[in-house]
Amino acid sequence: MDKKLKMACIGIDIGGTNLRMALLDNRGAIIHRTKCSTDIHHGREAFFSLLRKGIESLLLVAKDKCYETVGLGVGVPGLVANDGCMLVSVNLPPLDGINLRDELQAMTGLPTVVANDVNAFAFGESVYGAGRDYRSFLMVTLGTGVGGGLILDRTVWTGIDGVAGEFGHVTVEPNGRLCRCGNYGCLEQYASANALVAAAREIMAREKDAFGEALRDKDISTQKLAEAALDGNSAALALFAEAGRYLGIAVASVVNLLNLEAVIIGGGVAASFDLLSESLKREIHARAFPIPAGRLRIERAALGDDGGIIGSGALVMDHLFRGNP
């Protein structure tokens, strides 16, 4: 490699809605970024052409700014095998069954790492974010669903098949609500944005003005519910406390199992961290052993919407320079 060129990589975060791409330097700083609609309904070929255009434009920026692009990291929602094959992609069905790593490597000629999006986010927090001071932690994203990523000794624990860390599908109610995964009572059905909104609707069906006269059924969102809670609305406060309690039930088991240093919470609902954290901590302390519960730190993620691109870039850099498979 030409030592005069600075090193860069490309990080890509494929979301169900947005496709974010960025050129990153070797310290994880964003040199240039693009964002567009994923538009997966246009099919696989159109999507790959979108990826190609985005990557080409970033490679041009790199060249222009005297960077050598050494790798490509991709975070994608769903179950991703350790070899980069898309096993199940809930939001991106046209990608099911394809080996995204091989496809992108062939397209770009760049060494490529493909990971589950929350695993990528977790690794980004580990290297550059709220997880820097911890060797081992659980990342939890509270968004439309509940995502998980497990960092053990500064490495993403993907499991033998690549599908570990699905914290949102830990059972918290044995006979609870049916989850989209087929199980009953998954955490995702109690602590995600969708779950909060669904629970709020159930309450409003019984009591129209439960969240204040101004909040109509069609306006319900976690943001509106958080506003109501911050205004002191007791029904809204109880909803967030309940989500925190369920989160605590699941975290307590993980804490007893793994004696982690921290749980890092990200995603849209994490903006309401303060509304959840009290009941979350209370539940952990009520259920887990005092030693692991007492040392556990609960932190908010630091990278926000950039977590996916920064984490994906960090993964490929780690792959190239730490020699991980």
- Our finding on whether 169 is near Zn ion (CB under 5 A) is yes
Say whether residue 186 binds Zn ion (CB under 5 A): yes
Q: Does 249 bind Zn ion (CB under 5 A)?
A: no
Per residue in 48-60, is it b (16+ CB within 10 Å) or e — as a string?
A: bebbeebbeebbe
Least spacing, CB of residue 191 vs Zn ion, in Å? 12
Nearest to 293 by CA among 254, 235, 244: 254
Q: Are strands 67-76 and 6-14 parallel, antiparallel or unpaired?
A: parallel
**Considering beta carbons, is residue 60 or 90 the nearer one to Zn ion?**
90
Question: Which one of residues 183, 194, 223, 253 is an interface residue with Zn ion (CB under 5 A)?
Answer: 183
Q: Which one of residues 98, 181, 204, 302 is an interface residue with Zn ion (CB under 5 A)?
A: 181
d(CA 325, CA 313) in angstroms, rounded, equals: 15
From 49-57, 170-178, 184-192, 257-265, span contacting Zn ion (CB under 5 A): 184-192
From the list 120, 150, 179, 255, which residue makes contact with Zn ion (rule: CB under 5 A)?
A: 179
Stretch that binds Zn ion, among 29-37, 68-76, 177-185, 271-279 (CB under 5 A): 177-185
Q: Which of 7, 186 has the CB closer to Zn ion?
A: 186
Q: What is the DSSP string of 45-75?
A: HHHHHHHHHHHHHHHHHHHHTTEEEEEEEEE
Pairing of strands 112-116, 137-142: unpaired
Count of chain residues binding Zn ion (CB under 5 A): 5
Confirm or reject binding of residue 88 to Zn ion (CB under 5 A). Answer: no
63: Cβ contacts below 8 Å, ≥ 6 apart: none
Q: By 3-state DSSP, what share of the chain in percent is helix, strand and coil, each rounded to 5?
A: 45, 25, 30
- Confirm or reject binding of residue 32 to Zn ion (CB under 5 A): no
Cβ proximity to Zn ion, 166 vs 261, nearer residue: 166
- Whole-angstrom Cα distance, residue 320 to residue 71? 8
Interface residues with Zn ion (CB under 5 A)? 169, 179, 181, 183, 186
